[in-house]
Every structure is written in structure tokens, then in C-alpha cells.
Structure 1
């Protein structure tokens, strides 16, 4: 589909919308690393592209750009003033938003901007569209509530016509996002990220836009190809009493057309269809006209691909994944869609497209889009470039609090409707590794019945093997699904054979390789196994040779973890900033060619090849420079990072501590994160800096991890030595006095230490009082199981 004309119109419209809000006080906030596209972002060009390529109208206005924002307590009234400006649609927590602040479950985030009412004629309506807002959004236009929506990943629209006034109009959006503490699906976002969890995204994170539509208009399309019958099944959502005309074309030449009533199923002939595949991702253009009384009252441009996905038997009777009636090995990788500068939001459309291009250039033909729903333009690029997509649903809150199941099903239903028309999506993935899983059979059968045009991976990694040890046994695994799926780290293995199901390896690999100067979190190089850059290609080649052997045994697809590093995980084939490729593209394509021989057109992408020098060798030279007296801050910082990667803990603490002494307030968030990492004693300069963070109203670090760090240090430096010295008769009054200089972390760790000590000693006389105080003040900070254990002991102690 050719969107060049539309794109130019959209860009002009975007500029007009931005001009009303143009300001000069926005700037990208500091980040450890950024992508090459971050420098292209500004308030006048924040994602200006048309946001919905499968249903294009030209009469629209982009509302991305600078909005006013403020954060208030959750129960506070509509604010009268705002704290500053935020660049929409980049998340509040991201560097590109210009804010980079966390949103707490006890808070609301507010947005405000103005726009000029367009001229509306002949009963036209004005629709306000949101690509996605995480998690719950309530919208007000000129002070009137126009609607609300829950769901952090689904697009929603509101007809705001009746709330408009002539001239300048005001939009206010209230956002509540409790992330992992709420009932909504949140993916891998958590409030205190660690290892497999990442920085949250709150608020508006996809394009906001206005669209003028006629009195009777096309509200939606539902298109499903059937290559066996040579037809495209189409249903148009439009008012009763209207008619539709569908015209399919190939490069401007009409292929077929059909007329019918809106809302009724139509069959558009597509004879001798050019089939869509990763090797040849052919798309037909589709024009949809809405007519009433013989006149065209609305028209949208769309596209479609003719392709079929199914489980069928090969010539040996083995159940495999078939694409267009041919066995097709799904050679994939696990793409999580995170960005160091934009978090959930790619800096630019070219950046969004780059990820798919890079994965194709590596020689993959499949992407498993992992626990995230992307903007519509990502799926458009997947359709255009040609890549199979296994689309994960975003799992429910794993604790399944009351309301979580219903919210999950509501959001999943919206996702199925929203993404249905994309030919690239061939597979729905329901629950990842049983996270929040419930009603397995019913949910799987519901998804299959809702969309029989795709195959369903009912429960990816329902059986999880790590180093050949089964971590997650499951009775009745993969019930009603189209495939059996295991996760196996690090080395590949086959899933069990079951009649009528393809066998797939839903995740494997996870080889951690750190690349200096391209790390989000320099304290972590997490992977299921660690490998030096020089050894990665050999290890990866051997893994793929085993995949080929498993294919001969019946394996039908595999998903490697992962294409890009993500925050503390450095097991990507490209670094998080998309700058360094750890195995050259050409070499990867050669490795993959045994399982994906027909690559089609290879996208042109650029990245530096990794330096294969042994990191230990680099660090050894730095250590000698340190011995010789070098102490400049940049050198100390890099030395601390390299020492960690080389496994020299003492050297890392030495260099990190020396680096901290060179720093002066005000500290950047990145400097504070490093201070948190390398502070290990109450005597360290960093300890005082972290204490100040806890007392600051504008702290640049999450306070709970800081508190826990200081608690551990106080215990190690002050409390534990006193306990060791006192034997069986600790002087708790003296210990209480000794921790007073350390404020609340000192008090919390003192109460915890005394509670645990008296519990373990079964000293019920002293236990009840201190445990009650501890639970009253700090019980919300400890796991529920432990809290219940302490409370039960209190109850029992009364009977002693």
C-alpha cells in the first residue's frame, strides 16, 4: 500500500496541531544510553506519521507534542495548576518525555492542552483517538467528561462533537496507573524493576489525534483472507441503512470489486491471488466506500494480504505449522519492544521500523511479540516487510486480585478486534509460563472460536526447563491448543508430540554478552549463561545446528531470547541502544539459512560489529593504570564497570567508591543509581547521599530500593556486630540508640532484626511487643506469607 501522499498530508496536519503548543523549555532527560533516533525528537515532530494505516482518512490532526502535566494524590480534585510540560506520546517515566518521573499507585497523572475547533459541516463529527494510555484514562473536553477507558495497550476513541465550542477548546486527561499493584494486565512493567522486569510506562504512550468524519461513517473493518476459496471475507461496521463498495487493486490496477450492505458479511473475489509470505510480503490495496442514497458519504483506504496459517501433516504424517499450505519452520526471536529513551514508545517511526528490519536482516522469519501490544504502525511495518508475528496477550496481574480476570478478558477481546486485520499476525499466545493463568481450556477455546483464521499457542512455556531441569510441571498441559510449547534455557529441546498439535520451542538461548559503553544498567549483564563476545557466534551456531536436528524430529518453530538487550538483560543479539551487533548480520543469516533458506529482500540496516577483545584483558590494563595513579572520573567509572564484568568484585568496589568521591550535588539519576550500586558502608560518602534522597521531596531514585539498601548496610555495619558480640543477651536499648543516626531505615531494620531474633529464639515475652510495632509500621513492606507468619506467632504468644 502506498501511503506517501497521506504521509505528507499527515505531516502538515501534525505541524499545524503542534504549532499551538510550541514551547522551548522541553529537553530530553539524561539516560545512561540513548538510541541514534533520540536526537531527532522534538516538540514539533513527535511521531507525526498517520497512526492507523489500515483505515486511512486524510482529514485529521495530530495532537502529539507538548502538553501541560501534573501529578496529584489519587483522590484530589481536578488541578487548577500544572507542574510543567510533557512531550506526548512519550511515557512519563521516559527520558524523551522531558519529565522522567515515576507515577505511584496512590497518584493520578493529569494532561492538558488546547486545540482550535475545526470547521464541521453537514452533520460532521469530531473523533478524539488515543493509540494507548496506560492504564485508566478519563477524558474531559471543556470541563465535560466525554468518557473513560481501562486497558494500557488498546486504542480507544470518543465522539467529542457535543462538548465542543467555537474557537479554542481544552482537553484534560486524568490517568490512574497502579501498574503491578492494580487489576490490569501490565506485562513486564513493575514498580521496582529487577532482572526480568523493567521500568514502568505510565500515561499516554501512543499517538493522540483528531479525525473529522461525516454524519454516517465507517467505524471499522473486519477482513479475513481465504486462499483456498480465493476470497476475502469482509464485514464493514457502519450505520444501518447504508451500503458499501469494496475495490481491491494491485499497484493501481483494479483486481475486483463488490457491493453490499453495511454490517453484512461480504465475499470479495481474489482469483489467482498473490500470496503473502515473509519471502514475498505482497499486499493488495483496498478502497472502502460507504454510500447512502446512491452517493458516497465516506471513504477509507486500507490493504490486505492473502495468506493462510494452519496445522497440517507433512508428507511423513508429522503435524507441523503450514504457511499457505506448505510446511514452514517459524524461526523466531522474542521481541519485547522496549527502548532506553522512550521505554514503551519508539523515538521515531524509523526506529519502530528498524527493529523489524534488523530482525529480518539477522535471518529470522518470525517475531514473538512478547507481552506487549505495539502501535498500529508496528504491525503495518511487519505486514509490509514480511515477518510472521506470534502475538502474546498481556497476562493478567499474576496475583489475580479480584477483578483481574474480568479485566484480562475485556482487554484480550479488544486486542483480538484491534489486531485482526494484520496478515503478519499468524499466532495468538495466551499465558506466558502460566503467569496469571486461569481457566486454561475455556480461554484457549474462546480465542480459537473468536478467530479461527489463526493458530493458538495456548500456553507458551507451560513447561519450563532451565539447564535441563523441569521448573514448572503442568497437568493437562496445552489443552485445546494448536501446539505443544516448552521453554528451555539455555540449550534447545523439543516439545512433546501430541496428535494434531505442532511442536515448538517457545523460548531458548538467553546468552548474556555485555558490550562496554552500551549498557543501560552497568551493574548487570544478566543472561541464563554468560559468554564473551568472541565466543558467542560459535555457541549460537551450535544451538542452531541442534535446532536443525530437532526439526528432523518434528520441531516446527523456535523463539530465541532475544534480539535486543533490555535494561539489565544483556542477552540480546543487538545492544539496547541498537548500536552494536554481537554477531555480524551476514554471519547470522548464514547460520539461519538451514532453517530459513528463502529470505526474500534483505533490509539494509547498520550497526557496528562487536569488539571481540577479551574484557578481562581490557580490565587488566585499566587496573595497571589505576596502580600507576590514574584517577580521572571517566576512567574510574569505566574501570568500575569493567571490573564487574571481569569478576573482580574488590576492584569494582574500589573504583566505584573512588568515582563517587569525585561527584558533587546535584546528582543525575544515573549517578545516583551508581551511588546506590557501590555504596557498601555507613562510612561511604554515598550513604549520606542516599539518606538525603530519602528525605527529598524531589527524589530521583525510587525510595524503597534505597531504603532496603541502607537497611542492609546498617544491619551489616551496626546491628550484626552487636549481636555477634553480645551472645545470647543482646542489649536492645543500646542497639536502638546506635541506629538512631540512620533515620527510618535504621528504625525499620532494628525492628525487623529484633522481631526475627526473638521469633527464632522463641522469646515470646519480648516478641509480641516488637512484632506488633514492626507490623503496624512496616508490615506493608514485607511479603504476605511472612506477615501472616509473624501475626500468627503474635496470636500464639498470647497463649504461652
Structure 2
């Protein structure tokens, strides 16, 4: 509860932007390894491009050259936040620096958080050194006799020339060019600490501490550790003998406060090195008292990732970790923190930082807020040669060394989808046995560097498998209707000794089996563009929870990027709307991520049924928690409600049932019998799982399409009797649109873009005497209709390598796309005329697509293509003027014209009874005179 309160406070105070006149990212970049005396060098630097690589010959290291640009460090050149366009592969930076007088007697270092790729630095024309590698920190020492209190010319050259072996990951989404993490000066002691690593004991009653010095000790030194937020602030010491560079301590910490997702407590430590004649070096750091292991799901033999010995069902998101203005670098620390908070806010327990070594402050916020991290090593895009593996090893070693103390990090992923590991043989990409053996050796290297975490050799995809690994993960992008069948097969194939998902001669052991990428972004032919993902996501998560061998899943992705739009949020971090709360009051994404989960209904999420039939609705309990707070049972509340062919919302039935409970229960329950409505309808079975006190623990739903012939005569819920006349949405008598007109699935939906009109001729019902008619209403489901990129007549072609930023950059251009409902609305307005009489004007708020478009999803063909899936409209009820009604009686037809004029040319979509949200065709309801309810006596 303390963490939830803190989350609410932090969410309310997240900053939106960095003031333009301040130093960007002023916070210390390494809360896990922080010296008190440091000077942030972020801000405006002079900058010049060196397209011909002649800066050194021209004397630029001296800092006297005129650099034409001003760049904002630490943003990559080319990123909007930097203020400098991307114009060359080599860039030079220059500024003045002053070492404070107070640092006298101390060693001074220039520290780079990360700089891509080959970095060199000079002070007053004297070269300090250079470093090759784009993702991990390095430091260069200033001369020992550097003058204090006076300005010096600092010049930095960064060469980011492309090489096939250079680690890039997905920098096609926005390159990391030059200094992209905080750069600073730092005062250190006489023999500075390079690392202090904390390894909790398996019994969590103490911690092993491994310290490493920058240089061999010139004489016997003392390492002192003070645990500053533990009662009594205990201090322990160890001797570092002359000539040694390392020291190890085993520190008992009885009853130590443990780190967990619900209580992410951090032990704060001050480490110092002292000795006779040696200036003290002092570092503030921290660690989390927790273990990562593999444990069986209780009551089963299914291995799961465990924290402190307790199995955790992993619910993660792929985090491409890009910002629209800063690319790899986020503008402020609060925005960076908000990325972690967003994951917590929707109920996720982890992120996979995708093929990018993430900034330490983001890992710090994951530590503080209790979000697990899978950490990827970036890939190169060339062949699997020694140059690529050498670059990879530098990044792997640097990442593990830097991030060892972050308790949030539970696994290292050394490769992704065999990128950089394929060899061209006879024109085909081959994952050669010698490369597989090399990958296995990299796994062993990572384990030798860190035996406390899980290591995955390759996050596998495309039917290429594992070698040596601690995780048996796989990527699968599928339509929602495929998941149940696939997970049946994957579960059946997962057991010790199985070769499934492994390269020969390797086989499965006791690795947890989990999905490590999914989403409908690639589940459909040619990918999806921006679509409603909520329906397929719901189907997938239901299926995952029905297969307990699966120890978790990882959704693609946290937020959209330039050519992938499957995120929980858009690239600008604006919201997407799932529609869940309209279908089940209070339901959010958190309900699909709840530890106590009840999967409801058939795998397809919508089932066609006949009126009045009894359906035994499947129920599956997935209670993946150790909590004993719920007794032995919970309460299920269910309501069947929906909309009929007259557009009426009705509640058809309610029921309650006790549901058995025990920790880690995962099994099918007795089905829930439900009787369907005795009329055509779209019905929603909304369920709530409650504890004994009435607190809702989880919400879910399934839907039914009750098929049948709609009535020609009906009694409304008000008691009024009506005669009904309707025509299919496709039966347009006349139309004209300024931009385009077309239909979906042979007329299930009619689209008109721009300004224009649709006209319908609805016959007067046979045998209906006009004298019986007291009034009439025209009923239609309609929405605005924007012209998406895919709907334009011009041919659009994907360009470039999709995984490196190619493809469509218009979210609506992909043939499958239909942008999901979001914060930005696309309104229109429709004027309705009936038999020439003005009936009124109605605002159409948006052109939405989400889970409320039940019929649109139900009608999709299973051919791996999407046709405006999830789109729907609003019910428009148009009172027909008396004059228009009289004209209809004379002419034998109701002529309805729906117009969008050029004052607000937002288009118009008309939905038929098998598309959209409501089972309604364009309909006229004739109210019969003898059907009016009797007046209530006063």
C-alpha cells in the first residue's frame, strides 16, 4: 500500500519538459555509484561537423577553431532536442571547463555516460585518451597538474561512421550520435573505486561485497562500508593488500529488509578507500536484498522465474525506449521516471529494454518503483565475424559491470532473433553450428560475470532456437484467434529433454517457458499499422492465463515508435482507449494484468448463438499469487446485457457464484450456464470477481452474437408498439463524396470521406395504415470517417529495412490499419433530411476503433488481413418530422438523406447490423397510435 500511494503521488507530479535555459538532466546520472564532488557538463557546447575527417589535421583539438553550431548535450546530433541536424558521421564538440579549487589534491576525471561510437578528448590540446563503444560508460583522467579555478579548453571528437560490426540495435528509429548520456567532471581519491558489487546470500541473511580499484593498491589500503539506512548504521572494513585491485567481504545482515515488487526497499551504502598518504575515495551506492532463481509453480512441475524464492508470473512490455525529441535520451528525469510509472500504472511487473543499454537513472527508477527489467545487449547488422563479437563483448562486460547492483534487472539477453548471427550461404541466411557454439560461449561468459541472474542466449524468433540458456522464450506474432491452438502445441512440446525451440544438439532442461514478444503488429499480413489492439490482446492474455506452463508474456510494445504502432501509448505518450470500461464498468487494462484472473468464455471472445439457447460458458481460474488473504472462496458476479436490433440496451440476466480459491490455483472451473436473449442481439457477459468484503479483484467479459431475423413488429422497452422497416447499409439509393466512397466486406459498412451524402429509400411497410402511425424515428449507427493513408488512391510502398526504421511512417498507411481510439478526436457532423424536410443535425464525435466494435471484430475473415477491425459508431435517433412522415405515407417510401457539408468535412460511415457496435441496420421505427402507454393519474 505504501508503494501504491507513492505511485499516485509521483504520477501527479511528473514534469512535462525541461526549461530551455537550464542544464538538461542536472541529476547525477549514477545514483548507484555517486561521488559527492562532480560537475555536470550538460548544456550548450560549440559543435562542428567533419564530413571529410580533417579536423585533426586542421588543429581542431586545440579548441581554437570556430565551430558553427551550438548543440545541447547530452542529446544526439540529429535528435530535435539537440538543435543540430544530422549532417555527417563525425562531430566535434568544444567548451570551457573549470576545475573547482575545492578539488585540490584529488584526481579529476572526465566521465562519459555513453557516447556513440569512437570518442576522443583533448584538454588544452593535450589528448586525454579515446574509447570505442556506444553504450557503456568510460572515463579519462585529466593531467594531475591541471590548473584549478581557471578555464581550460575541452574538445571532444566522436566518430559515428557506419560499420557492419558496430552495435546499433534499432537506431533506424533515431540514431544515437555522439554524446547521448550525461558527461561530467568528477573528483576522486588517490586510488579510486571502479566498482562495488553486492551479491545477496541465497538465504537473504547477508551480502557478499566485491570491490574493485582502478589501479593496484600502492600500499595496504582499507575498504570501509557503512550501511547508512540500517539501524545503527553499521560499518565493516576489509584490508586491500599492496598490489591488489580487489577486495571481498561477507557481511551478515540478519533480518535485512528485502526487495520485492510490492516493497522495493533499497539498502544504501557508503563505500570508501583510505590509506596512509592516500586521499580518500568515497562513493554512495545501493543494492536490493533479493534473489533471482527458478522455482516450480506450487502444485506443478512448471518452472517459473522466482524472486526471493517465490514464483512470479511475468507480465512485461517490450520497451523500445525512444523519445520523439531526444531519441535515446529523455528530456528530463521525471519523464524518464514516468516510463516506469506507466508500466506500474497498467499493472505490468516488468519491461524488456530492447537492444539498447538503458540509461542508469531509468534502471534506478525501476529499482525504486518495483519494476523488473530484462536487459538486452544491442546487436550489429553485419555478419557474425570477430569484429562484431568483439564489440558485443565490450558492451556485455560494460553493461553487467555497470548495472550489477540494480535489483530490478533479473535477466541479461545476449542476442535478439539471431540479428548479426546469420551467414550468407548460397544466397540464404544460415545460423551455422559454429555461430551457435559461439553464442553458447557468450552465454557462459555472461554467467561467469554474473551468476546471480538469468541469462538468455538468444531471444528466439523465426524458428531459430536456443543453445545454452536459462530461459526458454520465444517470439510469436499472431492474430488473436490463433493463440489457443498455438499454446496447446507449445505447452505439449515443453518438457525436459524436448528439442522444441532449441538448436541441435541442445535440448530443454528446467528453463521457464515464456513468450518474450507478442502482439498483432506482425500477426497479420505485412504487419498492421495503427489498429485497435485491445481485442486481440484480450484474446491472447486469456489464452496465456489458460496455459499455466507459460510462465509469462511480453507484449510489443510500451509505446509506439516511428513505424510500429502497437504500443499501449502513442509515440508522444498520449493515451489509447480500449473501450473496456464501457463494456464492464470500471474495467481497465489492469484487469487483464491482475494476479487473480478469471478467463471467461470461448477463445474467440465472440460466439455466434441462436436466440433462447442455453450456453455453458467456460471459466478458467488463474490465481498466480501466494496471498492467503481471501479464505477458500471468492464471489463471481455476472450480468448478461446487450443491445437488440432496435438499438435498445437491455439487461437479460444476472447471477452470482462462489469460486474456489487457493494460492497459485490454475485450473478450469465448472462452466457458467447462461440463457441467451430471445431476440437478435449483441450480448456482453460481464463478470466481476470479488473478495468477501466486496472489493473487485478482477473484471472480464465475453460476447455473443445472437443471430436471427429481426422483427417487423415489436414492443419497445417503454411498452410502445412499433412497426419496423429497415434496409441494409449497402443499399444506398444515391451518394456522392468529395474525397472517396467505398464499402467494407461487401457492404457491411459504407464509408464516405470528405463532404457529401448517403441516401436511403426505406419502403413504407405493407399494410400499415398511415392513420395508425403516431410518429416515427430513423435509427442508424454512424461515425465520422477520416481518409486514412491506406484509403488514398495513390499507391504507397514500404521503403527500406523495417527493423532499421524503414516501412510506412504514416500510422494509417498499412493495408490493415484503422487507427485505435485515442485522445485526438476526428469529428464530423451529419445533417439528416427526410423526404426533403430537415430533421436535425447531429455531431459525430469521432472515428473510433476499440473493443466496443464487437461486430466489426466478429465479422473479420480469418485470412490474416484486417478490414477496419474494431471500428464502430454512435446510435443516432432522428425524429422524423410530421410533414416528412405524411410525404412518406403518400409516396410509399421514407427517403433519408445523411449529409456532411464542407464546413466540417469529417466524412461519414454507416454501419450495418453485422458491423460496428450495435446489431442495427438503417431503420425506421413507426410508433403505432394504440401503443402509447396510458397516462399516469395525478
Superposition TM-score tier, normalisation by shorter sequence: 0.5 to 0.7
Aligned-pair CA distance for 1:143? 0.7
Q: Are 2:530 and 2:565, in contact at CA under 8 Å, matched by a contact in 1? A: no
Q: Any residues of structure 2 matched to 1:157-176 within 5 Å, and which?
A: 157-162=139-144, 164-165=146-147, 167-176=150-159
Per the alignment, residue 644 of structure 1 pairs with: 788
Aligned-pair CA distance for 1:235? 1.6
Q: Any residues of structure 2 matched to 1:743-754 within 5 Å, and which?
A: none
Per the alignment, residue 278 of structure 1 pairs with: 261
Per the alignment, residue 381 of structure 2 pairs with: 397
Aligned length: 557
Q: Which one of the candidate residues 534, 538, 545 is aligned to 2:535?
A: 538
Per the alignment, residue 194 of structure 2 pairs with: 219
Per the alignment, residue 562 of structure 2 pairs with: 567
Q: Any residues of structure 2 matched to 1:63-462 within 5 Å, and which?
A: 63-78=41-56, 79=60, 80-103=65-88, 107-119=89-101, 123-162=105-144, 164-165=146-147, 167-179=150-162, 181-190=163-172, 198-228=173-203, 230-238=205-213, 240=217, 241-250=220-229, 253-254=231-232, 256-262=234-240, 263-293=246-276, 297-314=280-297, 315-400=299-384, 403-437=387-421, 438=435, 439-461=438-460
Aligned-pair CA distance for 1:549? 1.2
Aligned-pair CA distance for 1:598? 6.9
Q: Distance in 1 between matches of 2:177 and 2:757?
A: 43
Aligned-pair CA distance for 1:122? 5.7
Q: Secondary structure at the match of 1:260?
A: strand
Aligned-pair CA distance for 1:224? 1.5
Change (3 A) 1:43 1:620: farther
Q: Distance in 1 between matches of 2:527 and 2:43?
A: 41
Aligned-pair CA distance for 1:298? 3.0
Question: Are 1:558 and 2:553 matched, yes or no?
Answer: yes
Q: Secondary structure at the match of 2:31?
A: coil
Change (3 A) 1:322 1:243: same
Q: Distance in 2 between matches of 1:599 and 1:375?
A: 33
Change (3 A) 1:599 1:81: farther
Q: Distance in 1 between matches of 2:16 and 2:68?
A: 24
Q: Are 2:105 and 2:279, in contact at CA under 8 Å, matched by a contact in 1? A: no
Per the alignment, residue 38 of structure 2 pairs with: 60
Q: Secondary structure at the match of 1:96?
A: helix
Q: Any residues of structure 2 matched to 1:623-662 within 5 Å, and which?
A: 623-624=754-755, 642-645=786-789, 647-650=790-793
Change (3 A) 1:108 1:538: closer
Range moving further from structure 2, 159-168 or 280-289: 159-168
Q: Secondary structure at the match of 2:282?
A: strand
Q: Distance in 1 between matches of 2:266 and 2:138?
A: 26
Change (3 A) 1:643 1:460: same
Aligned-pair CA distance for 1:215? 2.4
Q: Distance in 2 between matches of 1:558 and 1:119?
A: 54
Q: Are 1:227 and 1:273, in contact at CA under 8 Å, matched by a contact in 2? A: no
Q: Distance in 2 between matches of 1:186 and 1:526?
A: 27
RMSD over aligned CA atoms reads: 3.3
- After superposition, the C-alpha distances for 1:544-573 in whole angstroms (9 at most, x for unaligned) are 1111012x2x11121100010011211101
Change (3 A) 1:189 1:121: closer
Q: Are 1:527 and 1:570, in contact at CA under 8 Å, matched by a contact in 2? A: no
Q: Which one of the candidate residues 500, 517, 534 is aligned to 1:507?
A: 517
Question: Which has more strand, going by share of residues?
Answer: 2
Q: Distance in 2 between matches of 1:446 and 1:432?
A: 17
Aligned-pair CA distance for 1:101? 1.9
Aligned-pair CA distance for 1:244? 1.5
Q: Secondary structure at the match of 1:254?
A: coil
Q: Secondary structure at the match of 2:419?
A: coil
* Unpaired runs of at least 5, structure 2: 1-13, 241-245, 422-434, 496-507, 582-586, 598-621, 628-741, 759-784, 797-808, 814-938
Per the alignment, residue 664 of structure 1 pairs with: none
Aligned-pair CA distance for 1:308? 0.9
Q: Distance in 1 between matches of 2:574 and 2:175?
A: 24
Q: Which one of the candidate residues 456, 463, 479 is aligned to 1:473?
A: 463
| TM-score of the two chains, using structure 1 as the length reference | 0.65
Q: Secondary structure at the match of 2:558?
A: coil
Question: Which has more helix, going by share of residues?
Answer: 1
Per the alignment, residue 581 of structure 1 pairs with: 576
